Amino acid sequence: MARWNVCSYCGKEFEPGTGKMYVRNDGRVYFFCSRKCEKYFFMGRNPRKLKWTKAFEEAKLQRAKRK
């Protein structure tokens, strides 16, 4: 059985054979589940500021623990 990929931007798991894989010149590999994630990544948007990403949820929990 093939391994599921995890989106490098939003953290969502997606099936093998879907999405995109981007490899930088330094050899670092990024997986994207959608064009939306890919576009936001290249525009330099911070995933912690977007409510639909897993990074936002994790940052929200961190803030709640501090208070």
* Ligand-binding site membership of 10 (annotated): yes
Q: Which of 54, 8, 6 is nearest to 28 (CA)?
A: 8
Angle at 65 between CA 56 and CA 41, to 5 degrees: 15
64 is in an annotated binding site: no
Question: What is the rounded distance in angstroms from the CA atom of residue 26 to the CA atom of residue 49?
Answer: 27
Q: Is 44 part of any known ligand binding site? A: no
Any binding-site annotation on 33? yes
Binding site for Zn(2+): residue ranges? 7, 10, 33, 37
Binding site: residue ranges? 7, 10, 33, 37
